[in-house]
A and B are shown apart, each in its own frame.
Chain A
Amino acid sequence: MTFSTRRIFAILQKDYKDLSRNLFVSTTLIMPLLMAVLFGRMGIEGIASHYLIINLGFILVGAYVQSSLIAEEKEKNTLRGLMLSPASTLEIFCGKSLLSFIATAVVVAGSIWLSGYNPRNLAVIAIALVLSAVFYVGLGTLIGLFTKSVMEASVVIVPVMFIFSSGSFLTPFIDKYPVLAVVEYMPNLQLLELANRVEAGAGLGDVLLHLLVILAWVLVIHAVAAYVYKKRMVDE
């Protein structure tokens, strides 16, 4: 398995040029920022509201833009060219994830600033946000690998947005159906819980468990994506 930064940056650069000419996808980047401006103007308070916007950034940019980038390569038959080149799976994955990751980081940082969220412990929150961004980009890769076109990815993202939206719609039922407690381990809820505790004064050590759970999600989603990709390399 090779790891060449020349190849990775070449794919990143290609994606950047491609995306900058793709209105359909690039307008998506603005949505979370618009929401943030709106919320900032209204003077919203409370961690939950901030994370509503942050989550929107994760899903629309991290997951959706990434899934479109992958789905389009499949739809237009360009992914095969990358697969058949000497680039390794790792290089292709890194190269194809980098642009979405950077865009997510920029959009989420921008929306945090615009909505006036001021974390009590920026370092811990930054680690949690970076891990979450990597997770959502991996989720996007997986969606892109399963869908055949950008259109299909745009449809699939709707239930995904529902499932991973902040303050899951399922939490109110946990008391009634204990089985739903697993929902609390969802990466979005872990992030929210972590943010709440940081706001209450918790340090890195106190939220380590939450970070580890998010990290586990990161590892699992990328392992699954890599497995699906390898399977897709060979038609049956």
Chain B
Amino acid sequence: MENIIEVTSLQKAFGSSRALKDVTFSVKRGEIFGFLGPSGSGKTTTIKILTAQLRPTSGSAYAFGVSTEQLNSEKYRQKVGIITDNTALYGRLNVYDNLKLYCDLYGVPYQRIAEVLQMVNLAGEEKKPVSKLSKGMLQRVILARAFLHEPELLFLDEPTSALDPVNTKHIHEGLLLLKEKGTTIFLTTHDMNEAEALCDRVAFLNDGEIRLLDSPKKLRQQRGEPTLTVELADGSMVIVPKGPEGADQMFRYMSSNQLVSVQSNHPTLGDIFVEVTGRKLA
């Protein structure tokens, strides 16, 4: 599969502090790639380099086969959408006028406004002044703005960090819809549930280094204990080995009709993060 982003030995120093130490990864076309790491780990720095807002100290970053140093071209910016932690709207204008400006900037017909508002569950809110929007609505309008031109590649820096679960769910649905349409998404988060719900692959970032990179499912399976937690009819919970040594036990529970539920013992991404880095995500 074609790589949309190629990052090799990327380093970024701010004075003597090294924000990115040696970061290498690639993002495939069509996937949702997650950068999971605690605050200060270098997520925003990576996005800024990839969107040509910051120059790397050394190493290379390519998007669409072009070095990001040369990515300040209008052609590239037409293909990407960017939402960072300080993306903002015009407060004195209403939702429609904010989106209309971006339709003009990206050469998109105005009919698209109703479509993207639908995607973020804000249909009919066109006339609302942006200054009167709740934090959750604001973030959804920002997301709608990034959806306007159906970017091939979308960068999202902690898109749901300030949102409640209901709004987060809307945004996640919108992102999955966009992925279905072929958008590649590069997303940073410190929320392991978000990474798990959305990402095809995640990289664990800690102190400017990638410590682990794989699909959430594989990460959990590789590190899962080979046991099952079994709930019995009398309400007790029993741990049973997954291998042949547990087969007899399971057979007994099942034949005597004692089995209520079975759960595989996988650690969460958060557990794995702590295991690998010795640090908590939040």
Q: Give bound CA distance, A2 to B48, whole Å.
A: 24
**Is A122 an interface residue when CB atoms closer than 8 A count as contact?**
no
- Closest residue to B102 on the A side, CB-wise? A85
Residues of B within 8 A of A82 (CB): 105
27 examples of A-B residue contacts, CB within 8 angstroms: A2-B74, A10-B104, A10-B105, A14-B90, A14-B93, A14-B97, A17-B92, A18-B90, A18-B93, A21-B92, A22-B92, A76-B88, A76-B90, A76-B91, A77-B86, A78-B89, A80-B53, A80-B88, A81-B87, A82-B105, A84-B82, A85-B102, A86-B105, A86-B107, A87-B74, A233-B53, A235-B48
Q: In whole angstroms, what is the CA distance A2 to B105 when docked?
A: 12
* Contact of B72 with A by CB under 8 A: yes
Cβ B74 vs Cβ A88 within 8 A: yes
Q: Number of contacting residues on B, CB 8 A?
A: 29
Given contacts A85-B105, A234-B55, 15 further A-B contacts (CB under 8 A): A7-B105, A10-B104, A17-B97, A18-B93, A76-B90, A80-B88, A84-B77, A85-B77, A85-B102, A85-B106, A86-B74, A86-B106, A86-B107, A233-B72, A234-B54
Question: From B77, which residue of chain A is reached at the shortest CB distance?
Answer: A86
Top 5 nearest A-B pairs (CB, nearest first) are A10-B104, A77-B88, A85-B105, A86-B74, A21-B92
Residues of A within 8 A of B52 (CB): 234
Q: B197 on the interface (CB 8 Å rule)?
A: no
Per the bound structure, the CA–CA distance linking A10 and B99 in Å amounts to 11
Taken together as a complex, chains A and B put the C-alpha atoms of A218 and B232 apart, in Å, by 84
Contact of B53 among A18, A76, A77, A234 (CB under 8 A): A234
**Chain A contact residues, CB within 8 Å of chain B:** 2, 4, 6-7, 9-11, 13-14, 17-18, 21-22, 76-78, 80-82, 84-88, 233-236
Q: How far is the CA of A123 from the CA of B54 in the complex (A)?
A: 48
Query: Which residues of A are found within 8 Å of B102, using beta-carbon distances?
Result: 81, 85
Smallest distance from the beta carbon of A229 to chain B beta carbons, Å? 12
From B53, B55, B88, B97, give the contact of A78 (CB < 8 A): B88
Query: With A and B bound together, what is the CA distance between A154 and B69 in angstroms?
Result: 36
A88 to B54, CA, bound (A): 18
Rounded to whole Å, the gap between the CB of A94 and the closest CB of chain B is 13
In the complex, the answer to whether A235 meets B92 with C-beta atoms within 8 Å is: no
Q: Known contacts A14-B93, A87-B74; decide if A77 and B105 are in contact (CB<8 Å).
A: no
CA separation between A23 and B266, bound complex, in Å? 59
Does B101 count as interface, using CB distance less than 8 angstroms? yes
> B100 within 8 Å of A by Cβ?
yes
- Chain A residue nearest to B155 (CB atoms) is A84
Report chain B residues within 8 Å CB of A4: 107
B8 touches A (CB below 8 Å): no
Give chain A residues whose Cβ lies under 8 Å from the Cβ of B100: 10
- Complex contacts, A17 vs chain B, CB 8 Å: 92-93, 97
B229 beta carbon closer than 8 Å to chain A? no
Which residue of B is nearest A235, CB measured?
B54
User: Quick check: A235 and B53 within 8 Å, CB to CB?
Assistant: yes
Contacts of A7 in B (CB 8 A): 104-105
Q: Chain B's nearest CB lies how many Å from the CB of A98?
A: 14
Question: In the complex, what distance in Å separates the CA atom of A95 from the CA atom of B48?
Answer: 25
Interchain CA distance A18-B91 in the complex, whole Å? 8
Most buried by B among A18, A85, A87: A85
Give the complex CA separation of A82 and B72 in angstroms: 12
Distance between Cα atoms of A14 and B77 in the complex (Å): 21
A76 to B91, CA, bound (A): 9
Chain A contacts for B82, CB-based, 8 A: 84
The 8 Å CB contact of A87, one of B90, B97, B105, is: B105
Does B258 make an interface contact (CB < 8 A)? no
Chain B 33-64 near chain A by CB (<8 Å), digits 1 or 0: 00000000000000010011111000000000
A89 to chain B, nearest CB (A): 9
Considering the chains assembled together, what is the distance between the CA atoms of A82 and B106 in angstroms? 10
Q: From residue A71, how far is it (CB to closest CB) to chain B in Å?
A: 14
Say yes or no for B167: interface residue by CB 8 A criterion.
no
Contacts of A77 in B (CB 8 A): 86-88
> A11 CA to B90 CA in the complex, in Å?
12
Q: How far is the CA of A84 from the CA of B52 in the complex (A)?
A: 9
Name the residue on A nearest B52 (C-beta): A234
Q: How far is the CA of A17 from the CA of B90 in the complex (A)?
A: 10
A76 to B75, CA, bound (A): 26
CA distance A86 to B52 in the complex (A): 13
Indicate the member of B75, B88, B101 with the most A CB atoms within 10 Å.
B101
Hey, which chain A residues are within 8 Å of B93, CB to CB?
A: 14, 17-18
In the docked arrangement, what's the CA distance between A191 and B97, Å?
A: 40
Instruction: Find chain B residues with CB under 8 A from A80 CB.
Output: 53, 84, 86-88
Contact digits for B76-117, partner A, Cβ 8 Å, 1 yes 0 no: 011000101011111111000100111011110000000000
